[in-house]
């Protein structure tokens, strides 16, 4: 009795020379134990060129520049003689692993070895959902209004009937005026200048993001995935050099923003300390 197993990896992949050689080694070692057949590699490039090879050195010698960048890699092996066996590993927008054969034990062992390695070493990039990012930004003004309203309601203390009756029965006009002024100051807490400005800024930000998504959606997402959160990467040749420069630049930006934020917080604390003296 045969077996068919298939798995789609939820995370994006990163394949460099070391990982590609390891994948080849796992596949070839298992195939040599059972069938003595070789895996075939099918390469898809951004210039629409497609070719098949049995030698991974052909893949690693690719220039992998922007206009000849590898966009997809399929690895296949098939034995159609005495013991039928089909294997396919497809690195595309999603990574799909499929193994089918008459020898159940071999199918599960082959599948398990590859799946374990890919999960731990190759398919490790979290795929950020741009739609979630847009949804959060769209609702920022609403969240802000809710928080401000909640804060305002917490500061409004209801007056008891006895307290109200005591103030109304009191003949001291100054006491009554002070009470009205105090209640008015508390009730208008939710619409002070700071809160109003915050709502306006967040509304403008949300509208800008919505406009970007509506008119430049695909371009904006592609730029974000390419420069901020890249995944599904074939890192050899010029693509590896580009990726290292990108990571270095991103680290410098993050450090710069972090240091600037710390300095601004310290400066704010110093100003606050000086003003309360």
Got the DSSP string for 45-101?
ETTS-EEEES-HHHHHT----GGG-EEEEEEEEEE-SSS-EEEEEEESSSEEEEEEE
- Helix and strand numbers (H, E) in the chain are 9, 8
What is the percentage of the chain residues whose pLDDT exceeds 70? 60
Task: Tell me the average pLDDT of the chain.
Answer: 78
| Banded pLDDT at 190 (limits 50, 70, 90) | very low
Q: Where are the alpha helices (DSSP H) in 188-237?
A: 193-223
11 and 64 share one domain:
yes
Looking at per-residue pLDDT, the higher value among 135 and 254 belongs to 254
The stretch 165-190 carries a mean pLDDT of 57
Q: Are the CB atoms for 73 and 59 separated by under 8 Å?
A: yes
Q: Are the CB atoms for 3 and 223 separated by under 8 Å?
A: no
Q: Take residue 252 and report the two structure tokens written for it.
A: 């410098």
| Number of domains present in the structure of the chain | 3
Residue at which a domain ends, from 82, 98, 122: 122
253 and 225 share one domain:
no
Burial of 138 (0-12, 13-18, 19+ CB in 10 A): middle
Of 83-97, 219-233, 250-264, least confident by mean pLDDT is 219-233
CA atoms within 13 A on the CB side of 96: 11
Of 81-85, 111-115, 236-240, least confident by mean pLDDT is 81-85
Residue at which a domain ends, from 122, 150, 170: 122
The stretch 81-96 carries a mean pLDDT of 92
CATH number at residue 36: 3.30.310
149 and 187 share one domain:
yes
152 and 193 share one domain:
yes
107 and 134 share one domain:
no
Of 118-122, 170-174, 249-253, least confident by mean pLDDT is 170-174
28 and 108 share one domain:
yes
206 and 223 share one domain:
yes
- CA torsion 98-104-110-115 (nearest 10°) is 50
Residue at which a domain ends, from 122, 157, 177: 122
Rg (CA), the chain: 31
Looking at per-residue pLDDT, the higher value among 157 and 77 belongs to 77
Looking at per-residue pLDDT, the higher value among 14 and 269 belongs to 14
| Banded pLDDT at 107 (limits 50, 70, 90) | very high
- In which domain, by residue range, is 97 found? 3-122
Q: Take residue 22 and report the two structure tokens written for it.
A: 């390891």
118 and 134 share one domain:
no
The stretch 36-58 carries a mean pLDDT of 94
109 and 44 share one domain:
yes
Looking at per-residue pLDDT, the higher value among 30 and 127 belongs to 30
* Per-residue pLDDT tens digits for 123-172: 988 766 556 666 666 666 666 667 666 665 665 555 555 665 665 666 56
What is the percentage of the chain residues whose pLDDT exceeds 90? 41
Of 120-134, 190-204, 235-249, least confident by mean pLDDT is 190-204
Taking the C-alpha atoms of residue 163 and residue 169, their distance in angstroms, rounded to an integer, is 10
116 and 187 share one domain:
no
Q: Are the CB atoms for 224 and 4 separated by under 8 Å?
A: no
With 80 as the cut, is the pLDDT of residue 265 above it? no
209 and 248 share one domain:
no
Taking the C-alpha atoms of residue 31 and residue 110, their distance in angstroms, rounded to an integer, is 9
28 and 96 share one domain:
yes
Confidence (pLDDT) at 126: 76
User: How do 50-53 and 233-235 pair as beta strands?
Assistant: unpaired
| Banded pLDDT at 250 (limits 50, 70, 90) | confident
Looking at per-residue pLDDT, the higher value among 108 and 168 belongs to 108
Looking at per-residue pLDDT, the higher value among 56 and 247 belongs to 56
């Amino acid at each position: 009795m045969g077996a068919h197993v298939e798995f789609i990896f939820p995370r994006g992949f990163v394949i460099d020379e070391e990982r590609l050689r390891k994948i080849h080694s796992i596949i070839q070692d298992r195939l040599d134990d059972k069938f003595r057949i070789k895996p075939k590699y099918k390469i898809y490039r951004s210039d629409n060129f497609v070719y098949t090879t049995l030698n991974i050195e052909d893949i690693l010698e690719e220039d992998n520049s922007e206009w000849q960048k590898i966009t997809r890699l399929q690895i296949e092996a098939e034995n159609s003689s005495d013991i039928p066996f089909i294997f396919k590993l497809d690195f595309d927008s999603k990574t799909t692993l499929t193994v089918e054969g008459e020898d159940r034990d071999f199918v599960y062992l082959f599948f398990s070895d590859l799946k374990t390695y890919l999960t731990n070493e190759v398919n490790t990039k979290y795929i950020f959902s741009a739609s979630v990012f847009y949804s959060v930004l769209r609702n920022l003004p609403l969240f802000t209004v809710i928080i401000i309203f909640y804060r305002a309601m917490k500061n409004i203390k209801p007056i008891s009937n006895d307290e109200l009756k005591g103030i109304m029965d009191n003949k001291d006009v100054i006491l009554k005026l002070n009470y009205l002024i105090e209640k008015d100051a508390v009730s208008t807490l939710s619409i002070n200048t700071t809160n109003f400005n915050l709502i306006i800024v967040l509304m403008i930000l949300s509208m800008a993001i919505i406009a970007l998504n509506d008119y430049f959606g695909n371009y904006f997402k592609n730029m974000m995935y390419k420069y901020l959160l890249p995944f599904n990467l074939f890192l050899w040749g010029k693509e590896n050099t580009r990726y290292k420069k990108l990571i270095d630049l991103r680290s410098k930006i993050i450090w710069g923003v972090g240091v600037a934020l710390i300095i601004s917080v310290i400066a704010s604390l110093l100003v606050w300390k000086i003003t309360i003296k």
